[in-house]
Structure 1
């Protein structure tokens, strides 16, 4: 019985063939000393490179008999591995030599897997991560796992071209470099990792961890050092992410509440982010987003730039401390912007807006929809782009005006005035088009206020 050898191939197909989870000790063993479970060998396609392994005989009393799990070499058992109460401990681990992982994900190009954990889960739960590794979080493949009851954790390192004699030692060096613990208890999948700082210091080794969980899992992630976090295509109720110096990448996420923050690194949102959103960066970290959608959206940076394409929200609040350039293509709903030092540029305003900078310029383009807009620069210029035709009540105050030829007729409405400090100012109170449709208030007491014609198409092309 012990000399029935099989050839196993295709690593990436092993997940869909595993009915229950076990612990498979491939780590640190030579190719002719592998331990696999006969229960898993429902097909002969498991690994991307061929290996020889012995069928492991199981007794019928698998629940209680713990004497059936052995190493085998040349058809003979070499040592007992561990007690195998498999139904009570649904998890397995696979460690294997380097091999390039075939994946369309850009983040995994040039990487090879060295370690794999699997847990049997429910469709709903929470993923908790506290580790210093690059983290990629993805939903399970629905076609392979329609019941959404598995979780996979895979470790990747840079792929290298080595001969077979060097693979084992190379693999051992990687496995000795980190410590990783996984557990699944009462709906919580917990991953805790450590790196030897006494050896590496603050340097991050090129280790990437791919986590695949049911699409509805909540996410709670904290990574240290230069580690990056990437979350894609999840539909969680709650997502919390905190990075230290690394990048946070969010892609097509639907959630009830999203809270993501990077202390000094950048934060980027691709596709659509939907839900109650709070995202931000500290230090010089920059914030970029394509489309934000939700009832309540908050974005903030300290001194990094903010670049957002479109915001659709009942209420949006954007804040920055200093040296910030805010570029916003369009905003819908009520939007409040407050920057201590920096410029504000909004191409298209479709709802109510309050945009204030203490030091810098403000430029906004308006559409001919009902709205209330207040644009203010304490020490800088303000530029207002009006549609043609426009139906707006203007209340403008500045040290001086610059009007395009389409609005030179407003010069006859200019009045001289002063503020409470008796600073000489110029004011315009005039209605363009129909009265009572939109109210536009602009303030540039220490700068020039410009009014120009701008249609929707030209604003999008700028």
Structure 2
């Protein structure tokens, strides 16, 4: 290409032309003899003509018309095409040569829009989808569609996916958009751009996955069979996600009364939940929530571990054999387990009731905590750093019971009650800064 050698460098492509070439980020640097224009994520072309904007912010400088194709950029010149990296096509004066990145096959089918629907809808529509393929939902661009009165549906994939199985219908009288599809061939999926206030009722079967981004509606209801579900910055009065074995992942904040559950080996990994009532459960999979802001929350797993970051408000955690870890609480926290261990940080002004039949209990408290202590286990170990006053101790029936006050008599109803029927109970101090786990 360009009458010179070409070599693959890292995740990008290095093209050798008639001058030195260097790598920039994850992109490509072509050194020619003119001013530079930036293209996409780090591809720099030096050409010699006015710039034309095309696609998603791509700036092409060349001496001929430019057009966007697929996920790449097409520069129209006067020769066969050579493929560069992830879909940049350059037409130059050389034979066709493929430089495929290590994470994609040059012969892999591209996911092009195979069929599109453009519909005029109400800004407050209801969307119902029953699909055997994946679906991605995002809001309309408010700048392009300020009245929020359009919906765009596209089938993405390679040829031969069975388009006759995809049906799209909008019912004006009830303001409902209905999308149905069977199990499509290959990796075909549905892409939907809809008014941001649209209520969502989405169900998939098989391994079909669901992705919902930045919607703000009254109801967001997602049900999958074995498919995964990904939410990003969703605001709704009611958010319900359930799966029979898929993983549930959420980035950003999920606002609303939230109910998330998955069965089998499905896991839950959520950044932040915020609402009046929050319910999250797994069967055997890990349950991880980094922050919960709720008046009341209920978190449970059968044999999966429960890992909670900071819990604001009252919370109840239940496990059977899984362990439970809570890195911060400022309300009333109740944890019960049959065979799992419990590890909790009880913050200022918080109370806790912790009970496991077969596991152990570890309670971490700030040095300035004022609360009553009631501890019971096969053994009880209170760190000397914890200033306990009015200690009363009793040993009977193979268990040790210790009661007292930390830093003086606390306000009424502020207690830490920890009980391990078949294990040890330990209490130690931990600073608020340590509880943030800034290094993790």
Shift of 1:402: 2.2
Shift of 1:131: 1.0
The whole-number CA distance in structure 2 between the counterparts of 1:128 and 1:192 is: 8
TM-score (norm 1): 0.69
Report if the CA contact (8 A) 1:402-1:450 is conserved. yes
Shift of 1:100: 6.9
1:428 lines up with 2:402 in the alignment: yes
Distance 1:188 1:447, change over 3 A: same
Instruction: Give the corresponding residue for 2:238.
Output: 257
1:348 lines up with 2:324 in the alignment: no
The whole-number CA distance in structure 2 between the counterparts of 1:122 and 1:299 is: 33
Q: Which ranges in structure 2 are unaligned for 5 or more consecutive residues?
A: 1-52, 57-64, 71-85, 90-108
Paired residues for 1:113-152 under 5 Å:
113-152=113-152
The farther-off stretch of 268-277 and 432-441 is 432-441
1:405 lines up with 2:384 in the alignment: yes
CA deviation string 1:305-337 (max 9, x = no partner): 10110000000001112x211111110101001
Instruction: Give the corresponding residue for 2:61.
Output: none
Paired residues for 1:273-422 under 5 Å:
273-321=254-302, 323-369=303-349, 371-407=350-386, 413-417=392-396
The count of residues paired between Structure 1 and Structure 2 equals 340
SS at match of 1:406: coil
Paired residues for 1:196-275 under 5 Å:
205-275=186-256
The whole-number CA distance in structure 2 between the counterparts of 1:114 and 1:12 is: 18
Instruction: Give the corresponding residue for 2:106.
Output: none
The whole-number CA distance in structure 1 between the counterparts of 2:87 and 2:188 is: 14
Shift of 1:406: 1.2
CA deviation string 1:223-247 (max 9, x = no partner): 1101110001000101111001110
Report if the CA contact (8 A) 1:270-1:291 is conserved. yes
CA deviation string 1:164-210 (max 9, x = no partner): xxxxxxx3x23x465111110020000011237xxxxxxx6201211
Report if the CA contact (8 A) 2:351-2:415 is conserved. yes
Shift of 1:416: 1.4
Which has the larger share of helix?
A: 1
Instruction: Give the corresponding residue for 1:183.
Output: 169
Instruction: Give the corresponding residue for 1:85.
Output: none
When the two chains are superposed, the root-mean-square deviation of aligned CA atoms in Å is 2.7
SS at match of 1:458: helix
Distance 1:331 1:101, change over 3 A: farther
1:153 lines up with 2:153 in the alignment: yes
Which gives a bigger RCO, structure 1 or 2 (Cα 8 Å, sep 6+)?
A: 1
CA deviation string 1:380-399 (max 9, x = no partner): 10000011122110111111
Q: Which ranges in structure 1 are unaligned for 5 or more consecutive residues?
A: 1-9, 14-43, 50-98, 103-108, 159-170, 197-203, 418-422
